[in-house]
Structure 1
Amino acid sequence: MGSARLMFSTLRRRLGLEARSLAYPSPELFALFGARPTASGVTVTAETALRSPTTLAAVRAISETLGAVPIHLYRRGADGARERETSHPAAALLAGDWAPWAGGVETRTAMMVDALVHGVAYAAVVRIGGRPVELHRLDPRNVVVDLDGTEPRFKVREDGVERIVGWRDILRIGTPGSTIDRPLNLTNLAREAIALDIVMAEHQSRLFSNGARPSGILKTAKSLSPETVARLRESFESSHAGGENSGRTMILEDGFAFEALQFSSTDSQFMELRRFVIQEIARAFKVPGTLVGDLDRATWRNVEELMRQFVQTSLLPWAEVWQSSLERVLLTPDERRTFFIEAIFDDLLRGDLAGRFNAYRQATGGAWLTPNEIRALDNRPPIEGGDELIRQAGQADATAPREDADNAT
């Protein structure tokens, strides 16, 4: 079917019949419906991209992890001090449900899936008395950006009705590096690798379905009739096929020999190509191979480092987008001078907690940072007496005159 279509398409081009239809769509027609043709013949869309096992694993790793990261509202204090704010309406919204029927964690996770497969995610802000009280996720396929005016607006279609919403009432989460008029869609940009992963997964399934790859061959120099072949196959499978017959003693008739099949060089190349495709998709999403099932180079020593890299290079840019977008719609310009929103990654870096605390201890014990400066790094409120440097025996006050410091030594 595929070869016939290709031959017909080639013939149409040679005859100069360039007119396109839904039966023979052009790339432009594919793009009109949100689809992207690939060299492998698989069309990658936001829905079909998740048929790729590697893409599904990468999307789940980012969306489920970032969706579970706590996001809190903080108040700026004097001298860089910060403390958790709980009285502001945005604080309750960030820490609780975003709607009566949807919690904050599940909504952020779903929006991250939207952003990864569609390139952008949206939520509508519901206000009472001008204060934000709810956030409702919107299907990104039902939202269109309107850039005709001086400020961007959004056309939102729900239940067949279209309404215009200002940018202050739309939470928009785009891929880091994209702009409102130039969104970046990772599944579109990596569609060739995603399509190849889908094709190879389907090929692998067909290869092993219904025992498509035999475990061995019965060999004989005799000529056999079709009836004899059928009888031998039935007898062999009834005695040795299936898990309950595994390991039974094999008795062969006169002149027969059993030869087990091993992986060929072609099989090895298939596995190597499959591994390369997994690495390609992982690179596109900036996800360590260990999170998408590629354990080839994983060791006990480097998994913790890979997780730290995952947080810093993959999750942190997304978190910055979330933080700035939430501040834009939940806080007024005046409030942003006092409050800020931050995602907390402490639980993800728990394995490195001892190293961080050891560095803090050395910094304060070395008369370099005060306890309150250390506490500010972790968004903890200052304590009484925490503004004094802790000096070891024989160390002089850092603010003391030079002659006093010399005398102290």
Structure 2
Amino acid sequence: MGFWNRAMSAMGMSAEQRSIENPSIPISDTEAMLGMLGVLDRNGALPAVSIEAALQVPTVFAITNFLPRMLASLPLHTFEAGENGEKVNDSVSQLLSFAPNEEESTFEWRRYHWHQVFTGGRGLSWIERAGTRAVGIWKMDPGKTEIVRHNGRKIYKFDGREYSARDVIDTPFLLKRNGLASYSPIAKCNKAISLAIAMGDFAGGFFAGGGVPPLALQGPLPEGRDAFQRAQTQIMKAVELARREGRPFFGLPPGHELKPIGTDPDKGQMTDARLFQIQEIARIWQIPPAFVGDLSKGTFSNTEQQDLQLVKHLVLHWCTSLELELTLKLHGWRNPVKRVKHNVDGLQRGAFKDRIEALARAIMTGQMMPDEARALEGRGAAEGGNRLYIQQATVPLEDAGKVPAPTTNPTNEEDGADDDAGTEDK
């Protein structure tokens, strides 16, 4: 009797029941036996993915913390409408640039808002008003908010109250076809994240077991289910004891041997597979790999280019989304006289040399007044700093090499003429 037949007989199964080709026989008994042997733990399925489970993956955790922090750290100001609109410093702009309510700063509010966008797929906040003027902005839990349409109007139901769309700041990751529900990047791309979880679980189990792969016992097996389980338990204890004590071998009954089954991590290219999953997960949020610590293909030049790519193709898109939403909900939709805008130059806050050189060039080319540049650096106004300046070194080509003629003083000429006239009279 072979190993398979002896094992099935030990479970009291007949030859007909052992035929897994028979579609009328459920395979649950076979799965139970495989589970007893320690071969099948999750019925061959990938781990389930929720937001909490996804955050256990370092790449997901890094992205969903990095993007909200970065977007929340950008200066957010209000300007008068128009190309040359001046910065506004009224009570509504203070909600955005300092504190949206008495409980939290604008950084904390916006970080929570963006975190909900990049995990559950939507960020929501409701606007507290005194008449028509906004006096506060408060967070909403998207998981506890129901969005419906009533008479064609969008209504948000949260915490026992109903809010009209004009009183809710809504930033979806990607809207569904009905225009109400939104897609969650974690839920929509759960297989890529689930695979990363499975590889992490396998690596943890492999190294927690001392690097011992799954083993199969070959040789005469004891009859009966209880005896088989006792033998299995004793062998597992022997392997664990040898691992803990650092012994290179342990004894087996005569005529028995252990053989590894499955593929070891090296042959399965586990390191390469886990590295690929970092890039795959980063692709969900379209974030350059360098910002999740993947420098496997990074160089000095292309890492700098990834920095520019982050701003041009990711940050600006989300900034525009929130800017237009805040302008619409705080200043109205009929030709608003004020507009909300991020200062993306705030990303250069840590690059002192680049920032100063850019400001100096803007001043010397007449694009910025010195006081404006000083204000960006948190410095006070200086005498003569409220004027535009430009270098005079650039001249027309035909004037190159010519020495400009000295300027004459009309006053001196007139004085000289009077002196000459006086001399002649004398």
CA distance in 1, matches of 2:91, 2:329: 12
CA change 1:235–1:141 in 2 (3 A) is closer
- Pick the aligned partner of 1:65 from 70, 82, 89: 70
User: What TM-score do the two structures reach when normalised by structure 2?
Assistant: 0.63
CA change 1:378–1:84 in 2 (3 A) is farther
**Amino acid across the alignment from 1:371:** Q
| 1:371 and 2:374 are equivalent in the alignment | no
CA distance in 2, matches of 1:379, 1:341: 19
Cα RMSD (Å):
4.3
CA change 1:362–1:207 in 2 (3 A) is same
CA change 1:67–1:311 in 2 (3 A) is same
**Residue deviations 1:379-408, cap 9 Å, x none?**
98997553x865534339xxxxxx999x99
CA change 1:105–1:394 in 2 (3 A) is closer
How many aligned positions are there?
Answer: 326
Q: What is residue 35 of structure 2 aligned with on the other side?
A: none
Question: Could you tell me how far 1:349 is from its partner in structure 2?
Answer: 3.2
Q: Which has the higher mean CA deviation after the structures are superposed, 345-354 or 40-49?
A: 345-354
Structure 2: 5+ residue runs without aligned partners? Answer: 1-19, 27-43, 214-233, 249-262, 405-426
SS of 2:153's partner is: coil
Q: Is contact 2:362-2:368 (8 Å) kept? A: no
Q: What is residue 53 of structure 2 aligned with on the other side?
A: 48
Q: Is contact 1:40-1:196 (8 Å) kept? A: no
Q: Is contact 1:52-1:198 (8 Å) kept? A: yes
- Pick the aligned partner of 1:103 from 105, 110, 128: 105
SS of 2:345's partner is: coil
| 1:313 and 2:348 are equivalent in the alignment | no
CA distance in 2, matches of 1:93, 1:189: 34
SS of 1:371's partner is: coil
**Bigger Rg over Cα:** 2
Q: Is contact 2:117-2:173 (8 Å) kept? A: yes
Q: Is contact 1:81-1:376 (8 Å) kept? A: no
Q: What is residue 139 of structure 1 aligned with on the other side?
A: 141
Q: What is residue 84 of structure 1 aligned with on the other side?
A: 87
Q: What is residue 34 of structure 1 aligned with on the other side?
A: none
CA distance in 1, matches of 2:199, 2:337: 53
| 1:152 and 2:157 are equivalent in the alignment | no
Q: What is residue 200 of structure 1 aligned with on the other side?
A: 199
SS of 1:346's partner is: helix
Q: What is residue 281 of structure 2 aligned with on the other side?
A: 281
Q: What is residue 396 of structure 2 aligned with on the other side?
A: 395
CA change 1:372–1:48 in 2 (3 A) is same
**Residue deviations 1:292-348, cap 9 Å, x none?**
2322012333333212211221222111111111112221346x6432111122232
**Residue deviations 1:86-142, cap 9 Å, x none?**
1x2221111222222222211211111111111111111111233212111111012
Structure 1: 5+ residue runs without aligned partners? Answer: 1-10, 18-38, 215-226, 242-249, 251-262, 397-402
What is the 5 A alignment of 1:30-45? 40-45=45-50
Q: Is contact 2:75-2:346 (8 Å) kept? A: no
CA change 1:207–1:130 in 2 (3 A) is same
Q: Is contact 1:121-1:172 (8 Å) kept? A: yes
CA change 1:115–1:235 in 2 (3 A) is closer
**Amino acid across the alignment from 2:307:** M
Q: What is residue 327 of structure 2 aligned with on the other side?
A: 327
What is the 5 A alignment of 1:177-192? 180-181=179-180, 183-192=182-191
Q: Is contact 1:40-1:195 (8 Å) kept? A: no
SS of 1:98's partner is: coil
SS of 2:323's partner is: helix
Q: Is contact 2:147-2:181 (8 Å) kept? A: no
Question: Could you tell me how far 1:196 is from its partner in structure 2?
Answer: 0.8
**Residue deviations 1:143-170, cap 9 Å, x none?**
12222323222122x2xx3x22111111
CA distance in 1, matches of 2:372, 2:105: 30
Calculate percent identity across the aligned residue pairs. Answer: 21
Question: Could you tell me how far 1:281 is from its partner in structure 2?
Answer: 0.9
CA distance in 2, matches of 1:178, 1:353: 43
